[in-house]
Structure 1
Amino acid sequence: MTTSDLAQVLFTSGLQASADPSPEQVRTAIDERLCACGGDRASCTASVAQEAGDHPDEYAARMRWALHTVTRTFPGCVAAA
């Protein structure tokens, strides 16, 4: 999965930026969210588009956080496929 893919999954998790999660918490949140979606990333991230339309200001801030957090947690991850 790319950085973008992982950030979208993290975005849909319950993890909050204010919690300043550790890398292990981020990995766990991503794994749990993917498992909850049956491993289907597309199904898991469908709510990202809905959130962007419903709350664009909140969406932008959360996605920036998710991208930054994934980049820190998975430093060798591919930026785009």
Structure 2
Amino acid sequence: MTDVLTAARAEALFSSELATGSEPTPSEIGAAIRRAIQVNGGSRGCAGTLARAYGERPETAVPRMRWALRQIVAAYPRTLPRLVRTRDA
């Protein structure tokens, strides 16, 4: 399952200028996300770009979204909450 922040980042990366298949650094990914959000008028604009691509060119949109998700998961690894041990009273 993909959380909302991961999905929004992937949508922005999808709508960025980075080439599918590239292996950008985390800082390049962050910069591309910021630019895509600016160019598309926010995260909703990025989602719209994604939706249009799926409607117009699903054969290229699917691999690009898979690539975007892989890049986001690698650049922003989720950390699991630490378990806190409590003392029994």
User: Quick one: which amino acid aligns to residue 46 of structure 1?
Assistant: G
Tell me the alpha carbon deviations over residues 16-65 of structure 1, each in whole angstroms, 9 at most, x when there is no partner. 13432111111110011112234x21123211111001111111100000
1:75 to 74, 77, 89: 77
Per the normalisation by structure 2, the TM-score is 0.75
Q: Which runs of 5+ in 2 are unaligned?
A: 80-89
Q: Which structure has more helix as a fraction of its residues?
A: 1
Residue equivalent to 2:55: 53
Q: Which segment is superposed worse, 48-57 or 15-24?
A: 15-24
1:63 to 62, 65, 79: 65
Q: Which segment is superposed worse, 10-19 or 56-65?
A: 10-19
Provide the rounded CA distance (Å) in 1 between the counterparts of 2:73 and 2:47: 18
Q: Which has the larger radius of gyration?
A: 2
Q: Does 1 or 2 have the higher relative contact order (CA < 8 Å, sep 6+)?
A: 1
Residue 31, structure 1, aligned to residue 23, structure 2: no
Provide the rounded CA distance (Å) in 1 between the counterparts of 2:8 and 2:49: 13
Provide the rounded CA distance (Å) in 2 between the counterparts of 1:2 and 1:19: 22
Q: Which runs of 5+ in 1 are unaligned?
A: none
Q: Which segment is superposed worse, 60-69 or 45-54?
A: 45-54
- Root-mean-square deviation (CA, aligned residues, Å) is 1.7
* Aligned residues between the structures: 76
Provide the rounded CA distance (Å) in 2 between the counterparts of 1:37 and 1:59: 17
